[in-house]
Structure 1
Amino acid sequence: MSKINALVNMTLAAIIYPFKKTEFKNGNIWLIGGHAGDIYDDNSKFLYEYILNNHKDVDIYWVVNEDSKVKNKIPGKILIKGSIENYLYYYNAKVIVFSHAPSADIAPYNFAIPILNKFHENVFKVFLNHGSISFKKRKPMNAKLKKLIDDLMRSYNMATAISEFEKDIMVNEWKMSEDAVCVVGSARHDNLPLNEKSKNRDILYMPTWRDWIKFGSGEFTETQYFINIMNFLNDERLNDILEKNDVNIKFYMHHLMHGFIDDIKENITGKRIIFLDKDVTVADEITSSIANITDYSGVAVDFLYMDRPILFYQFDKEKYKQEVDSYIDLDNEMFGSIAYNKDQAVDELIRLIESGFEVKKNQEDARNKFFRYNDNGNCNRIYNSILKKLNNI
């Protein structure tokens, strides 16, 4: 939905609001969303389904884009993001839950509109984050919006963290309220099997995105990102070992880079490389994969949670540190296997396959650092923390 249509609908909903208020009186309305209304996945999805199935007293709605490919796959009740109905329910909601930001996931532009932003102040705001805080330092895509975004994050009533490591970053670097940040675990981790190897032999390869490439003007096929990924996936030794051991590499292009996927598809020579669609449920691919290859994606933390092997292929570490940087010290705090060029990556992956997908011992220390909890009770803890804070307001 266009910005103009959303703003018109927001205004119309505000005009209608006083006349509709009695219809919502005493309602226990919760709105939840994620990935800017486009994708049904990550922490928001799993908390939504937990509440939908276990707490019938909550009138919960998932907020989704009108043109989202997953709109008809979402269980329960939905609201179309930016519609008059969306804003009316938002104005009468008790709780909103989001993985990115209220404007992106729940009610477009409301926070920035004078007078109407009183509804943002009134509702209880829960920030789930869309993944773990690990390899990407938070920064606004537009530096001019930094103060607005900082003020927005300080307005959240509750935010979830998986460890004291994460809470320290959120409080001391993001300047969020210490009382708001709760170490309760990650909702999506409840979907992850514990102490259990995958039954198949698929390896999930998920490189993260690069803003200097996505918003750059050069040819994608001339970037080091493209060249290093292609050299790795097309390596003859790699493809021989995959074929010999009946192993596939499932390649998932980050959704913000997915516009370049055809350039990679068209240049692949190996038969054991499987391309995943942008709208695939990534959580399912994580749980069904025996190991992970990434560069700086937080998906590595999911594999760490499951105690499954991880290979970091960081062919542009210095450039990444300069452009993005990491909360984890990329020189001294890494875990799993690490490769900085194609040959090292192939060597490490061959070693991993021939070892029967053995987990490196250094992952145990990392598990102790990154998780306070390693169980399947995160959604329950998050829900109870919301109720506790609501009752204390």
Structure 2
Amino acid sequence: MQQLMEAPAEIRVKTRKFSLTKGTIKICFELEGSRGRIRSLKLKQRNAVLDTSFPFEMQTAKKGNTIVYHAQINVEQYPMETAFWDVVASVDKEGKGNYEDAILGGLSSKLKLKLILFPRWTRTGDGHMVYPFVNGARQFTIQYRKYDPKYDSYAFIAKEFLALFCYFILKPYWDHKKLWLICEKYCTMAQDNGLYFFRYCMEHAPEKDRSRIFYVIDKKCPDYQAVKEYDANVIQFMSFKYMIYLSAAQYLISTDAIRHFYIWDSPNSIYKVLYQARKNIVFLQHGVMGFKQCHRTFHKGGGNQMALFVVSSGYEQKIIHDYFGYDNEEIIITGLSRWDVLEDKSDPAHKEILLMPTWRSWLEDISEDQFQKSEYYQRYKAFLQDERLKTLLEKENITLNFYIHPKFREHIRSFQVEDRHIRLIPFGTMPLNQLLMSCHMLITDYSSVSWDVYYQEKPVIFYPFDLETYEKVQGSYMDYKKDVFGDLAWDQNQLVDLIGEYARNGFREKPEFSGRRDELLPYRDNDNSKRIYEYIANAQIPDKLKRRLKEKKF
């Protein structure tokens, strides 16, 4: 099992200065002596597995009972990885020489506003950029990633201000349109619940509503073809028109968080803060909340607050109510839009198994070399090269389709295997819905696509080989050892044995798993999009900014 590191606690300080100029980060802050003493500062990569950090140079000066700290670091001197980096202090809180790590917090409201109104970044010599990442926690965090000349420029900031000017000067006109904007992940996809909900609206909503509903996508992406027939209602992502429409939109409707409606991981800007603070979002989800804890990301009290939260059942509604903090009136039980077109298209003459593991948060944004050393890679590589598996696939004439999660799509080339019965399918080359409908069985670890296969009354094998690590870092709302609706394989041999068992019985689902379907998936009538549309059309959702100001959440 991989060794995991607990996230450090936080220590709040009084900020004097936080700047980033020509690759050098400078921080000046104060801490009362009674609250502890800081021995050192480091810039630490945010990762549960990797322990990578680089030291600040630091000087101190005493001011009565307070110590003033001056620290700086030049990031160009170090081999930075694409990631978020926190400023972490080594703190002795009791004065006994017991130093512990703590994330530095206390970015002042004044400085936070300054970083938003006047965003700043620095470019490195290797084509990357570094900038302060301002979030609700007010912690000292920076982001390091590749420089994008299209969006990472002062010319683009000018475009943001111009879009805001054009919106606010004609605000009554734009707001009167009551626009609905629909998107999927990064505004680059059209193959999930957003696509099927949009199609329903284009084909069944009244004309007065159709004229105000738009799908947002980068038209250079392959998935644009899925919505091209409705081109009059498709808007180019990050076009000037889109930036005005985003400012004016009544509702944002998405399978993902509100950040997906804008440039991913863009530096802070007044435009970005305004749209995120003002817009109500309807969360279509891209899978049932069951096997992956997300309440820290989508909690009602956080930055990703949803106005309406789509769920599949009363069982899931209770999860969202208990863990996410939403009222039942904000959680709409409708079923998922993509299930309206979901049907079993498996061909008895061409037997297919879909192998689709999900991602791991502790493996995001790591190098190829580090990825290949992970248990995740080693386990799936060993399985794909298993000689018993290859013999079984050959004997039963089964094709195994390996479809990696989009967050790991760049690593698919690492799983090369020479076998005519095993296909490695790069992300985006084949619609996921097609793979789910054509398969006879699914093998996964914790992916929510298991619910789509269960919906079709097909068998699912769960392979949670790193369950102890997963539960510690990610967590599940369901008890894996009791509540899953499929067989559990804890090692490679057991997994191959189960595949053989299902291959010999014609891939029939076992009665002990099918018996819970009415409870877990009550809506199987192809009217999910209709229910969602009617909820949104009849919703009376309060203004988000006024509501959050009243609740003192913003």
Partner AA of 1:269 in structure 2: E
Residues 6, 83 of structure 1: 8 Å contact kept: no
State the 1:255 CA deviation: 0.5
Mapped to 1, the partners of 2:337 and 2:156 lie a distance apart of 30
Residue 383 of structure 2 aligns to which amino acid in structure 1? F
Please tell me whether the aligned partners of residues 175 and 249 of structure 2 are also in contact (alpha carbons under 8 angstroms): no
1:139 shift after superposition: 5.9
Question: Partners in 1 of 2:282 and 2:158 — Cα distance?
Answer: 26
Structure 1 residue 63, shift from structure 2 partner: 1.3
Q: Which amino acid aligns with 1:135?
A: F
2:201 aligned residue: 51
Q: Deviations over 1:148-178 (max 9, x none)?
A: 9843343x32111101222122222111233
Asked whether 1:220 is paired with 2:371, we answer yes
Structure 1's 121 and 228: CA in aligned 2 closer, same or farther, altered over 3 A? closer
Deviation at 1:207, TM superposition (A): 0.5
Residue 2 of structure 1: aligned partner: 151
Structure 1 residues 6 and 251 mapped into 2: Cα distance closer, same or farther (>3 Å)?
Answer: farther
For residues 107 and 227 of structure 1, what CA distance do their matches in structure 2 show? 34
Aligned ranges 1:228-267 → 2 under 5 Å: 228-265=379-416
Q: Is the alpha carbon distance of 1:176 and 1:7 closer, same or farther for their aligned partners in structure 2, counting shifts above 3 Å?
A: farther
- Structure 1 counterpart of 2:222, which letter? K
Task: Give the distance between the partners of 1:361 and 1:21, measured in 2 at CA.
Answer: 58
Q: Residue in 2 aligned with 1:63? A: 216
Larger deviation: 51-60 or 282-291? Answer: 51-60
Q: Which residue among 298, 302, 321 is the counterpart of 1:151?
A: 302
Alignment of 1:8-19 (within 5 A): 8-19=158-169
In 1, Cα distance between the equivalents of 2:360 and 2:444?
13
Choose which of 210, 222, 235 in structure 1 pairs with 2:360. 210
| TM-score, structure 1 normalization | 0.88
* Match of residue 187 from structure 2: 37
Q: CA offset at residue 304 of structure 1? A: 0.8
Contact residue 207 and residue 296 of structure 1 kept, 8 A: yes
Q: Name which of structure 1's ranges 349-358 and 369-378 shifts more when overlaid on structure 2.
A: 369-378
Please point out which of 163, 172, 189 is paired with 2:339. 189
CA deviation vs aligned residue, 1:81-140 (integer Å, no higher than 9, x gap): 333211211233232201111221368799x86698665566553111121111111166
After superposition, the CA RMSD in angstroms is 2.8
Point out the structure with max Rg over C-alpha. 2
Choose 86-95 or 45-54, whichever is displaced more: 86-95
1:12 and 1:84 in contact (8 A); partners too: no
Report Cα offsets for 1:24-81 as digits up to 9, x if no partner: 4743522100111122221111101111121233222111236533334433232233
Partner of 1:376: 526
Q: Is the 8 A contact 2:363 2:371 kept in 1?
A: yes
The 5 A counterparts of 1:1-393 are 2=151, 7-21=157-171, 24=174, 26-55=176-205, 56-57=207-208, 58-59=210-211, 60-65=213-218, 67-75=220-228, 76=230, 77-105=233-261, 123-138=279-294, 150-154=301-305, 156-193=306-343, 198=347, 200-216=350-366, 219-265=370-416, 268-279=417-428, 280-390=430-540
More helix by share: 1
SS in structure 2 of the partner of residue 209 of structure 1? coil
| Residues 170 and 181 in structure 1, CA contact (< 8 A), matched pair in contact too | yes
Which structure shows the bigger proportion of residues in strand conformation? 2
TM-score by length of structure 2 reads 0.63
Deviation readout 1:199-255 (Å, 9 max, x if unpaired): 541111100111212344663222221221122122222112212222101110100
Question: C-alpha distance in 1, partners of 2:391/2:435?
Answer: 24
Alignment partners' CA distance in 1, 2:263 and 2:329: 25
| Structure 2 equivalent of residue 143 of structure 1 | none
